Amino acid sequence: MLSESPEQPAIPPSWFAPAALPLEVDFGCHRGAFLLAMAATDGTRNFLGIERQSARVDTCNKRIRRRELPNAFAVRGEGAQALRDLLPDASVHILHVSFPDPWPKRRHEGRRLVKEDFLLEAARVLRPDGILRLMTDDAAYFAEMVALTKSGWSEVAWDDGIARPMTTFEMTFRKLGKVPFQRALSFPESNPAIARHQSV
Ligand SMILES: C[S@@+](CC[C@H](N)C(=O)[O-])C[C@H]1O[C@@H](n2cnc3c(N)ncnc32)[C@H](O)[C@@H]1O
């Protein structure tokens, strides 16, 4: 079920129509550098940014309007609940989660985005051929991502032949000589009923 917030415009409903363009989601899209660059170079897909900070969402949408990109849009949303509220079953081709906040202190680990509930929702919103792309510079968080995706998920090649720009944080880390950890995953048993069943 799609929720319509009075505070923000809704995602264009045509993006979820049967003949809609393939949908990529950039979760934690920041101010939209990656989202806009992708949308500008690939008019055959729609690009949705989800971001918890309203000011960043506004900046994204201002930039999208300025560049007149019909295939990009950003909405405010937070964590697994955003996927639950905003995205129908099997609607997403690629879900990008790039440099989610690492919360390195042990007592803050519970605040991390990539947890069981988020992954269950990711499995629900991905199409059967959909891909989750995780990228982080934090070794401990990456190890947790690997452990959490051991069951149900299958690793696929990171390089899928699509040339993508770097995200803002990727650029920053690479300039510092750091190489990010990357993991692309499919959920072969992708079945909304299973995911919903698991989440109750
Ligand atoms: C470290 S930045 C990475 C930004 C961008 N993905 C990149 O790679 O350049 C993390 C972004 O995710 C957003 N964010 C953090 N936790 C979130 C959550 N639970 N739900 C939605 N957005 C979140 C932050 O506000 C921030 O814009």
CA of 23 to the centre of ligand 1 (A): 19
Query: What pairs with residue 92 in β-bridges?
Result: 126
**pLDDT score, position 189:** 75
**pLDDT score, position 1:** 47
Q: Looking at the CA of residue 78, tell me the nearest atom of ligand 1.
A: 20
**Contact present, 75 and 47 (Cβ < 8 Å):** no
**Structure pTM?**
0.93
Nearest residue by C-alpha to atom 10 in ligand 1: 100
Query: What pairs with residue 126 in β-bridges?
Result: 92
Chain-centroid distance of CA 89 in Å reads 15
Q: Looking at the CA of residue 56, tell me the nearest atom of ligand 1.
A: 27
Nearest residue by C-alpha to atom 12 in ligand 1: 28
The amino acid at residue 120 is L
**pLDDT score, position 8:** 73
Residue 65 and residue 62: Cα distance in Å, rounded?
5
**pLDDT score, position 109:** 87
**pLDDT score, position 200:** 44
Give the residue numbers annotated as catalytic, written as ranges. Answer: 101
> CB neighbours (10 Å) of residue 164?
17
**pLDDT score, position 6:** 52
Residue 127 and residue 156: Cα distance in Å, rounded?
15
Q: State how far the alpha carbon of 30 is from the alpha carbons of 21, 90, 130, 167, in Å.
A: 23, 25, 23, 9
Q: How high is the mean pLDDT in each 10-residue block of the chain (200 residues)?
A: 60 95 98 98 98 97 98 98 97 98 91 97 97 97 97 97 97 96 89 48
Instruction: Please provide the size of the chain in residues.
Output: 200
Ligand 1 pocket test: pick from 31, 35, 36, 51 the residue with the most ligand atoms within 8 Å of its Cβ: 51
CA of 19 to the centre of ligand 1 (A): 30
Ligand 1 pocket test: pick from 30, 86, 134, 138 the residue with the most ligand atoms within 8 Å of its Cβ: 30
Domains and CATH numbers, the chain: 19-199 (3.40.50.150)
CB-defined site of ligand 1, < 6 Å:
28, 30, 51-53, 56, 78-79, 98-101, 113, 167-170
Q: Looking at the CA of residue 97, tell me the nearest atom of ligand 1.
A: 6
